Amino acid sequence: MTFDSEETETDPNIFRDESGEPRGDFVERVERAVAEGDSAQVHELVGALHESDLGALLELLDHETRNRLIALMGADFDFVALTEVGETTREDILEELPVETLAEAVRDLESDDAVAILEALEPEEQAEVLEALPAHERVILRRSLDCPEDSAGRLMQTTLIAVPPFWTAGQVLDFFRNTDPDELPDNFFEVFVVDPGYRLLGTVFLDALVREAPTKRVDEIMQADRRRVHPTDESAEVARLFERYNLVSVPVVDEAERLVGVITIDDIVDVLEAAATEEIKALGGVSPAEELSDNFWQTAKSRFLWLLINLGTAFIASSVLRLFESQLQQMVALAVLAPIVASQGGNSATQTMTVAVRALATRELSRANATRIILRELAAGALNGAAFGLITGVVAANWFQNIGIAPVMGLAMCTNLVAGALGGILVPLTLDRFEIDPAVSSSAFVTTVTDVVGYGAFLSIASLWFGLY
């Protein structure tokens, strides 16, 4: 595909190709413009990018090029893009910027984006930036930062529209027209109705304002039973509320039901994506903090503990083999087939565990239906165990020209697939019962169960069947 300057000015999707991937030729042009210190060319290429695409571009650039690009952009750099990059990249960029630049950037951001920037700073630098802000902005941001991490208070934006109950629909619309656009939220879906004490009375969506007669009072068209959250509520719980009731926004109120902020769907999408990413990483034994932008030392360090734990479980499984050392020497086929039984049980357990961990995270699996799900997994494990026991029994008998090995293989395979299915559901349930994240810890326990049961069952059955002592 050709790339020219005219396309840069006219194509809004210049950063990505038809498949949605970043275009290598575009990135190269940006790198070349930055290396040459061509501020005009950098502005032309980068200035019109959406903050999400700008964030993706920053992730593709090296440390020095990123910092030079931001310097060349100057006051035109969109700091919202820093909320679209990974934590490592964000911290890497922020530590190079002076306090004055950060304070100016934070002042221009929505409160939720400002909090995302501030919480990435060291406490001393964070305090300096806050001190450089106007008093009212400082109070608002400190209130959000005082909330626990991963809470509604960290997600909410404090720029919102609140009106008294006696206003009419026409007055609200006139207010929109007559207010400086910079003083309105960037994106909003509703107007909040509050009493003189700023306690939330209800919500009026914008479509209702447009449809109703201009003389209609807002307290006559508001939704008084609108769901609301508190600043200390966990962000995961807020996300579930959005998902369960198909919300696009939700008001945040304090203990006295006073309106303090609003959370919008764009922030919840980020929460859901982060939660899903964390679960996938945890199931693979990878630290949730690990990112592609980490260097090799950070990557190795974050993975070391999990590899060490798995090494320990491997030794436990190997100790079972040691118990049957003489039997293995008498019949070499057992050493060949035992790993197949253990591996297939592990695969079965991983399938069950993945479903269970996800169901626990979404609250689909609870005490109310746990027994039914356990019995379902037990039946599924037994059915698959019988099927694969038959298949592996026939294969093993033909492979080693020994018909006697078929029932041993079949019974052991069935036993371990049942054990894997039970382990895959019971281990996450037990960990969750003790308030231990099953996504983080289940894998090591489940693997140990299937390895020990697989080796133990197969070699025990074989020893009895063939009279090996």
Residue in the block written with tokens 């281990």: 427
pTM to 2 decimals?
Answer: 0.77
Rounded average pLDDT over 131-148: 93
Q: Where are the beta strands (DSSP E) in 249-402?
A: 249-253, 259-264
Tell me the residue type at 320. V
Residue 163: closest CA among 184, 132, 139, 191: 191
> pLDDT by residue (tens digit) across 196-222?
999 999 999 999 999 999 999 999 999
The amino acid that residue 50 corresponds to is H
Q: Is 8 a residue whose pLDDT tops 60?
A: no
Q: What is the mean pLDDT of residues 161-174?
A: 96
CA distance 370 to 315: 32
Helix, strand or coil for residue 258? strand
CA pair distance 69, 437, nearest whole angstrom: 41
* Closest to 156 in 3D by CA, of 303, 39, 267: 267
Is residue 292 classed as helix, strand or coil in its secondary structure? coil
Residue 416 Cα distances to 339, 343, 381, 384, 456, angstroms: 12, 9, 9, 10, 10
What's the rounded mean pLDDT across residues 387-408?
A: 95
Domain over 162-283 is classified CATH 1.10.357.10: no
Which amino acid type is present at position 194? Answer: V
Return d(Cα 321, Cα 88) in angstroms, integer.
44
Tell how strand 249-253 and strand 200-205 pair up: unpaired
CATH of domain 5-149: 1.25.60.10
Angle between helices 235-245 and 265-283 (to 10 degrees): 110
Angle, in degrees to the nearest 10, between helices 405-433 and 438-466: 150
d(CA 296, CA 302): 10
Structure tokens at 468: 């090996």
Q: Is the pLDDT of residue 468 over 90?
A: no
The answer to whether residues 122 and 90 touch, using CB atoms and an 8 Å cutoff, is: no
Question: Is 70 exceeded by the pLDDT of residue 409?
Answer: yes
The SS3 assignment for 191 reads strand
pLDDT at 12: 53
Total Cβ atoms within 10 A of residue 203: 23
CB 231 within 8 A of CB 256: no
Tell me the backbone φ, ψ of residue 250, rounded to 5 degrees: -150, 135
Q: Which residue has the tokens 């790339």?
A: 3
Q: Count Cα atoms within 13 angstroms, Cβ side, for 212.
A: 21
Q: Does position 69 have pLDDT exceeding 80, yes or no?
A: yes
* CATH architecture of the domain with range 296-466: Orthogonal Bundle (1.10)
pLDDT tens for each residue of 309-346: 889 988 998 999 999 999 999 999 999 999 999 999 99
**What are phi and psi for residue 77, nearest 5 degrees?**
-70, 130
Q: For residues 463 and 453, give the distance between their C-alpha atoms in angstroms, rounded to a whole number.
A: 15
Chain segment 258-283, per-residue pLDDT in tens: 999 999 999 999 899 888 888 888 87
Domain boundaries, the chain: 5-149, 162-283, 296-466
